[in-house]
Chains A and B, each alone.
Chain A
Amino acid sequence: MQKIRTPYLLLLPGFAFLFTFFILPIVNLAQTSTQTPISGGDTGQYEQTLRFQNYIDAFIENREQFGRSFVYALIATLLALAISYPLAYAIAFKSGKYKNLFLVLVIAPFFTSFILRTVAWKQILGEEGFVVPTLRTIGIISDSTTLTSTSFAVVMGMTYNFLPFMTLPLYASIDRIDPRTLEASGDLYANGFTTFRKVTLPLSMPGVVAGTLLTFIPAAGDYVNAAILGSPNTKMIGNVIESRYFRIVDYPTAAALSFTLMAAILILVTLYIRKAGTEELV
């Protein structure tokens, strides 16, 4: 008897936590999402009428921002992957005694607040940063072009902010690759590219899958980068939810949008994992 009870007792704090801070709010959110304004009521007063049409209305009205969120998140994820892979590879195989130092450097930006890091990007890409004048001198952008308040800035900010989420899982799985498999590949007359394609990449797939998920999911729901680095024409679904909740005080639409976002991410992730294979996640 004792043996059966122990695991449940151990799980109790976790369950209690998740129940209070995840299940209850989710139930509350679900209830809110089908409410409608009380006629003659004040701002922010709603009653339950089980209006599921809220979901359809909310989605149709904001499909542009939904689309944008997923496109931005996808681009940011791919960019992060393109930057992180060589980085993780270099740290794992080529950094020698500096390995730990480099790892700390990857994580170091996390010691500052997310928002401050994003504001820093605003300054880097701003008129008085060094990027804009440099690009103007070279003639890549015209005098009237600015980099802030563009989708470029938003995607760059997202790529940067989520980079460690991509780098660390990649590093973990690349680091686990036995170098002798690479040597064996060379012994079998594979050139560098073939070795990468047939040995390194397949063996690092768990890192790729984990990294892309850890980047894509928060990126799709992000609103800080769009708020600080974007313009009204680059708003994402997170901004809409924020505005619905706090500015318009339209809790039902905010809740319906949150659920739709969760569902969309869940579906995309499921399809992705199906394709990639669950065994890759370990």
Chain B
Amino acid sequence: MAKKSPLSPEARSIINARVSRRAVLAGIGGVGAAGALAACGSGGDSAASGELVRWGNWPLYLDFDEENKTYPTLDKFTEATGIATKYFEDYNDNDEFYGKVQAQLKLNEDIGYDLVSPTDWMAARWIRLGYAQKFDAANIPNKSNILDTLASPSYDPNRESTLTWQGIMGGFGWNTEKNPKGIRTLDDLFAPANKGKIVVLSELRDTIGIILLAQGADPATVTEDQYMNAVDFMAGKISDGWIRGVKGNEYAEDLTSGDATAVIGWSGDMFILASENEGKFDFTIPESGGTISGDNLLIPSTATPEAKASAEKLINWYYDPAIAAEVAAYVNYVTPVKGAQAEMEKIDPELAKSEYIFPTEATMKNLSVFRSLTPTEETAWTEAFQKAAGN
């Protein structure tokens, strides 16, 4: 997939801006101390009291104007609705963020956010524990714009308390000089040339999901035996010295530095690497299938009714195809909003053709969603994965 079309100057400047911010974050990423970058308020004074949304989101996950240090779509939202926003780029890690706020959630005390962005499985946990509020459908008419593939996840079949922020495809990424024929299968990944230079994701649903698919199992219905079998496969590749690391976003640095030549990675990161280093990196969904997951917009149980209504309006705003296209042009992940592709044509026709952002039907069919786990499974399966990763 993913024909790498040369980018327009606008798109390139957007990407470069993002990458320069990534460089700042590079060091802090892994160990999660990016709090320093937090809190960019906008329009604080103009809004009526109570009309404020505090949103905790992942770093580099919203269009950002490097020159004015503002978030353009967020500012436009404040202009259009009079609702002020406080945007925090401090959702660095699902587990870490959960660890930070879970005590307050339990006591139903304000956690400091009216909108958070957990990944599917973490959103499932929030819903299960009653930490998520149900949307008032009247405030989110654009809800119907969600892509069909994302419309009914097992943890929230009717999308009553979550909506996807961005979709993330998991697949193979590689250095084209070291893998001139590309990587289509797990055997290609574990080719002798890549020995000791393979990095896989620390997100078990992607890494194990892709191994499962290669072994003929389906992540959507995976059994414990199948799962443990796939984990053993990974553990073997680690102890035999094939896999050098099990990491989050930092695998991108390993690819650029040459320490890694092939990875199980995420579409958005690989898009940036590919477009930044003309032809040096490529990404594809494995022949046997890739994974798709999403980060979700979720209103915590601790948000006040006023804040909840404001947060819903904000969600509705980002489900407007034109706004979604603006965000997609910056973040390069799979946009969950129907009609955004048509809007993207107006901003950047080249980007509108990108399979990274707007995967075709055929690609979509080859993507699997990892099923929800029961609490017992979640603990046991994570433990097995972590142990295989040396922890």
Contacts and interface: CB of A to CB of B under 8 A. Distances in A.
Query: Which of under 10, 10 to 19, 20 to 34, or 35 or more describes the interface residues of A?
Result: 35 or more
B386 A247 contact: yes
Interface string A22-50: 00000000000000010001111100000
A248 B258 CA distance: 31
Interface in A203-251: 224, 227-228, 231-235, 239-240, 242-250
A35 to B, nearest CB: 14
Interface in A123-155: 123, 126-128, 144, 146, 148-149
Interface string B352-391: 0000000000000000000000010011001100101111
Given A232-B245, A234-B390, A240-B391, A123 B30 contact: no
B391 to A, nearest CB: 4
Interface string B102-114: 1000000000000
Interface string B33-45: 1000000000000
B386 A243 contact: yes
Contacts of A242: 391
Nearest to B99: A246
B238 interface: yes
B125 interface: yes
Given A128-B258, A146-B196, A248-B379, A231 B27 contact: no
Given A232-B238, A233-B390, A250-B379, A42 B99 contact: no
B95 interface: yes
Give the interface centre of A45, A119, A248 by most chain B CB atoms within 10 Å.
A248
A41 B375 CA distance: 7
B390 A247 contact: no
A266 interface: no
Given A247-B386, A249-B95, A43 B238 contact: no
B245 A126 contact: no
A232 B246 contact: yes
Contacts of A1: none
A240 B390 CA distance: 8
A278 to B, nearest CB: 36
Given A42-B128, A115-B31, A249-B95, A231 B102 contact: no
A4 interface: no
Nearest to B389: A232
Interface residues of B, number: 38
B348 interface: no
A211 to B, nearest CB: 26
Nearest to A224: B31
Given A243-B391, A247-B95, A227 B30 contact: yes
Which residue of B31, B33, B129 has the most chain A CB atoms within 10 A of its CB atom? B31
A282 to B, nearest CB: 36
A144 B195 contact: yes
A244 B387 CA distance: 10
A93 to B, nearest CB: 37
A141 B95 CA distance: 39
Nearest to B238: A232
Nearest to A239: B391
A132 to B, nearest CB: 9
Interface string B162-176: 000000000000000
B102 A248 contact: no
B257 A235 contact: no
B28 interface: yes
B244 A149 contact: yes
A122 B30 CA distance: 13
Given A42-B128, A234-B390, 18 more contacts: A43-B378, A45-B375, A115-B28, A115-B30, A115-B33, A119-B26, A119-B27, A122-B253, A126-B258, A126-B259, A127-B259, A128-B258, A232-B391, A233-B238, A233-B239, A247-B386, A248-B386, A249-B379
